[in-house]
A and B are shown apart, each in its own frame.
Chain A
Amino acid sequence: MWRLIIDEGDVYWNMAVDEAMLLLRDSNIIPNTLRLYVFKPSAVTIGYFQRVEDAVNLEFLRSNNIGFTRRISGGGSVYHDVNGEVTYSVVASIKDISTNIMDSYRIICSGIIYAIKEFGLNADFIPINDVVINGRKVSGSAQSRRKNALLQHGTLMYNTDLITLGKSLRAPKEKLSVHKVTSILERVTTISRELGRTVSKDEVISALIKGFSKALNTDFYRGHYTREELELSNKLIEKYRSVEWVFQR
């Protein structure tokens, strides 16, 4: 049985907790955990290898007081809407998921697909790390690994403000041309938009628990952070706030 933690916090806290959990799972100090959380206030995360100026619209983020930081995981930039997106983190022993990285993306992303099915919608996994409904992205994930453990975190957009998302993130011209569209807005969607009704955060959390239970073949017990997790997260949070980390490339 896996631990389930439901949380909310700012962008620095959320990234610090994810890293702390990965490191502590790697040392076998904490159990396999599903963490479901919200970014409060809304914020942006960028991939480990991205240059800030290529990934986000800095002027828009600054003028709208939208915080941002760099993740320890690769992939692209993400807008986390406090009122429209739930983020998941799967922190687990690698041997409990798959030693093959691509297989582990597929297994964990199937939890998102099952969650979306709870709403009566069909979704598809598009390797490496996207889940789409009717060809439009509704979820993106990124995975980081240590020797024994993996962290995969990702989004599920249920009512994201796509206009703000479009203004916050930069998509390279080459990316747009491959997708044959001219705007981020045309490539992404939300569960509410696909259903034609406004879906609540609680509905999404409930669907995600069911979806991951099926994908990971486990039940969950509601748990809390350990003292070690809180102490390590409080140390790591300074890194995520630092200019040296965020603007390292």
Chain B
Amino acid sequence: MGIPEVVFMKVCTSTKRVGGKTVKVDIEVVNDTIVKVVISGDFFLYPEEAIHDIESRLTGRKVSEVASILDGFRGSVEFLGASIDDLVSAIIDAYTSCQE
């Protein structure tokens, strides 16, 4: 039997208040990789189902890739009460709080 690999998993949250709306990000990070992300709040996103696509494309990726992944959604989704930049910043904040 080999030595079990040590896995450091952290669940971190960041909440941003933007233009009267709230964007909350809950992420689970294992060895610097996002293994789960849930984006929630009282913002508007069109089409709504795109949130699932955004979350799944972030899963399994490094935080350094978040901005470029979300850039890929510009033009195909429309946020009201939040922006793609707000979302990038909320994810990075949540990730950063995991490192503290």
Question: Scoring B residues 8 to 44 as 1 if CB is less than 8 Å from chain A, else 0, what string do you get?
Answer: 0000000111011110100000000000001111111
Docked pose: A27 CA to B51 CA in angstroms: 24
Q: Are A74 and B43 in contact (CB under 8 A)?
A: yes
Chain B, interface residues (CB within 8 Å), range:
20 to 34
Q: Is the CB of B48 within 8 A of A73?
A: yes
**Cross-chain contact of B42 among A74, A101, A102, A144 (Cβ < 8 A):** A74
Q: Are A101 and B40 CB-contacts (below 8 A) given A49-B51, A54-B24, A174-B22?
A: no
Kindly report which residue of chain B lies nearest to residue A126, judged by CB atoms.
B20
| A31: interface (CB < 8 Å) | no
Name the A residues within 8 Å of B17 (CB-CB). 172, 174-175, 177-178
A54 touching B40 in the complex, CB below 8 Å, given contacts A145-B47, A178-B20: yes
Interface presence of A75 (CB below 8 A): yes
Cross-chain contact A102 with B51 (CB below 8 angstroms): no
Q: B44 and A74: CB pair below 8 A? A: yes
Say yes or no: A51-B48 contact (C-beta < 8 A), given A101-B80, A128-B80, A174-B22.
Answer: no
Residues of B within 8 A of A128 (CB): 19-21, 44, 80-81
Given known A49-B42, A102-B80, A249-B40, contact A172–B48 (CB-CB < 8 A): no
Partner of A49, one of B16, B40, B47: B40
A187 → chain B closest CB, angstroms: 11
Does B45 interact with chain A (Cβ within 8 Å)?
A: yes
Inter-chain contact B43/A49, CB cutoff 8 Å: yes
User: Could you list which residues of chain B lie within 8 angstroms of chain A, going by C-beta atoms?
Assistant: 15-17, 19-22, 24, 38-48, 51, 78, 80-81
Q: What are 9 inter-chain pairs, A to B, with CB distance below 8 A?
A: A47-B42, A48-B51, A49-B41, A49-B45, A50-B42, A77-B42, A101-B46, A172-B15, A175-B20
- Beyond A74-B43, A126-B20, A145-B47, 15 additional pairs, beta carbon < 8 A: A49-B40, A49-B48, A49-B51, A50-B41, A74-B45, A74-B81, A75-B42, A102-B80, A128-B20, A172-B15, A172-B17, A174-B16, A174-B22, A178-B17, A249-B40
